[in-house]
Structure 1
Amino acid sequence: MALKDKVAIVTGGNSGIGKAIALELARQGVRIVIDYVVDPAATDALERQIAELGGKSIGVEADVSKIADLQKLVDAAVSGFSRLDIMVNNAGIETRTSVLDTTEAQYGKVMDVNLKSAFFGTQIAAKQMIKQGDGGRIINITSVHEDWPMPGNTAYCLAKGGMRMLTRTAGLELASHNILVVGVGPGAVATPINLSTMNDPAKLAQLDAAIPLGRMARPEEIASVVGFLAGDGASYLTATTIFADGGIMHSSVGL
């Protein structure tokens, strides 16, 4: 396998899209550092799943809004597996608040977890990859909302828009080091962040009707895109976003 024995960090890695990414990469032979801030039992269970696949992983409790904790993740990859090849900036939160209602605390937390972590995660991972001298991949899990407004979720959209420009600018800056930086922009995905919609039949029906493919994505479908981007088949992709949205960004049906 092309990715066998590569090493990846997945932030927000013990649930939702992050968990699916960790499992997908592990199936391809990648050794995984699983970042988490809550639910250590879920991390332990994921480590067992990866072991059952014949893979290797370590769980690291780290708050990605803190630069020291991002460094801790990279240090864990190097001490546990001797290197770092793939950085997946996946951790994200939202407040579902409008520009009129978002508090300073809400704004700050969304920016710290979604955007600051991606910026400094990219920086710290890139420095390690440059030290190793043989390139690497940085994959930012953004959203259709890096480009598509979502009234009532303003801070989240701002953070994802920032990740769009981080991906493009860092991709250009790091190209000479053979470090590729690509975003993955999911549409609606069946994960815990969307439980309020998934548990409301009327809201779910409205959402499904707005998606040309007629359903939310499964986390595994987003993870498969990440698996492709981490491999040799994506060796000429950088400074751009791949949208996996079921066509919703081009739908004429409003939400």
Structure 2
Amino acid sequence: MTAADTAGRTPTAAVVTGADSGIGRAVAVRLAAQGMDVGITWHTDEVGAERTAAEVRGHGRRAVVARLDLTDLPKAADVIDSMADDLGRIDVLVNNAGTGTSTPFLDLTLDTVREVLDVDLVGPFLCSQRAARRMVAQGGGGRIVNVTSVHEHQPRVGAAPYCAAKGGLGLLTQVMALELAEHGITVNAVAPGEIATPMTGQEDQDVRRTPRPGVPVGRPGDAREVAAVIAFLASEEASYVTGASWAVDGGMLRMGPMAGSHLEDDAWRRP
């Protein structure tokens, strides 16, 4: 069987992890607007997850909500199967849930490293495995999108386990793309730069009024700008796109993430 034999079904059901706020919420709502029922997971903010569910239902789509603790592995991945059962199938998985640290390398504890790696790398691996098995069994292909970071590609001081996990998730994305293509399943990464979310203390801010001299477009990103790229990758229009990492960073990677977040003026713009 070839990939062409398994592709061609319009996605109708998606699971978005960490969809209680920020990028995850924006993705869940965007996919609902595209006609998908959505499974929404949360870790600490159940109220936020229910708000997301209300927005999904506002688009006339079904929403199911469940808690997901990616430090509780491998059991946590059971949520993917239970949501697929509730939704009737799973066509799209967006691995968005994540965590990080701002700790100097010499001060890191093993517990912290293991927690970040579990949440940001091992958890997405196991969730993707569950989703892909379902997609293969039900037929019709599928879409997996891993939310990494610009730090999939370039390092940041104080973020050793985060960078290691996101870099690993980027390469995992490529291996998955190779192996799952024959089943009509595409796998891509989306690598956000600084996005106005609760993680950066900026949710619901007008990003146009927040100057970022070190970012070429001069501002942070809006979660909906990331969601638009993920929604494309989750659609039939992206059927020939797999194994890629899509930076959504306002050009930050061209500057280097450290410069992108730390430059205080626009002097770099002049030769």
Structure 1 unmatched ranges of 5 or more: none
Contact 1:3 1:231 in 2 (8 A): no
How far does residue 68 in structure 1 lie from its aligned partner after superposition?
Answer: 2.0
Q: Measure, in 2, the Cα distance between the counterparts of 1:72 and 1:41.
A: 18
1:177-221 deviation line (CA, Å, top 9, x unaligned)? 11100000011101111129x99xxxx75xx11100000000000
For 1:149-160, list aligned pairs within 5 A. 149-160=155-166
Aligned to 2:79: 72
1:103 partner letter: T
* Aligned mates of 1:47, 1:3 — CA distance in 2: 25
The CA distance in 2 between the partners of 1:70 and 1:6, in whole Å, is 21
- On the 8 A contact 1:3/1:28 being kept in 2, the answer is no
The equivalent residue for 1:27 is 33
2:189 to 175, 183, 186: 183
TM-score by length of 1: 0.91
Is the CA contact (8 Å cut-off) linking 1:95 and 1:156 kept in structure 2?
Answer: yes
- State the secondary structure of the residue aligned to 2:178: helix
Matching of residue 56 in structure 1 with residue 49 in structure 2: no
1:67–1:12: structure 2 CA closer, same or farther, 3 Å change rule?
Answer: same
Q: Distance in 1 between matches of 2:116 and 2:104?
A: 13
- Mapped to 1, the partners of 2:201 and 2:109 lie a distance apart of 23
For the residues of structure 1 that align with 2:234 and 2:16, how far apart are their CA atoms?
Answer: 12
- Change in CA separation of 1:101 and 1:126 when aligned onto 2, cut-off 3 Å: same
| Cα contact 1:8–1:32 (8 A) shared by 2 | yes
Task: Tell me whether 69-78 or 103-112 shows the greater mean CA deviation.
Answer: 69-78
Matches within 5 A, 1:89-238: 89-195=95-201, 208-238=212-242
- Aligned equivalents of 1:93 and 1:152: distance in 2? 14
Give the Cα–Cα distance (whole angstroms) in 2 for the partners of residues 189 and 77 of structure 1.
Answer: 29
Instruction: State how far apart, in whole Å, the 1-side matches of 2:161 and 2:83 are.
Output: 31
**How many Å separate the matches in 2 of 1:101 and 1:247?**
31
User: How many pairs align?
Assistant: 246
Note the C-alpha offset of 1:4: 6.7
Change (3 A) 1:59 1:3: farther
Distance 2:9 2:60 in 1: 14
**Aligned-residue offset at 1:74:** 2.3
TM (normalized to structure 2)? 0.86
CA shift at 1:82, angstroms? 1.1
Cα 1:18/1:139, change in 2 over 3 Å: same
Residue aligning to 1:14: 20
Please, which runs of 5 or more residues in structure 2 have no aligned partner?
1-7, 263-271
In structure 2, how many angstroms separate the alpha carbons of the residues matched to 1:237 and 1:156? 26
Q: 1:39, CA displacement in angstroms?
A: 1.9
Cα gap change, 1:241 to 1:177, in 2 (>3 Å)? same
How far 1:122 sits from its partner (Å)?
1.2
Report the AA paired with residue 243 of structure 1: A
CA distance in 1, matches of 2:248, 2:142: 22
**CA RMSD, 1 decimal:** 2.0
Aligned identity (percent) is: 37
What SS does the corresponding residue of 1:100 show, helix, strand or coil? helix
Q: What's the CA shift for 1:5?
A: 6.2
Distance change in 2, residues 1:165/1:21 (3 Å): same
Distance 1:152 1:81 in 2: 40
Name the CA distance, whole Å, in 2 between partners of 1:70 and 1:237.
26
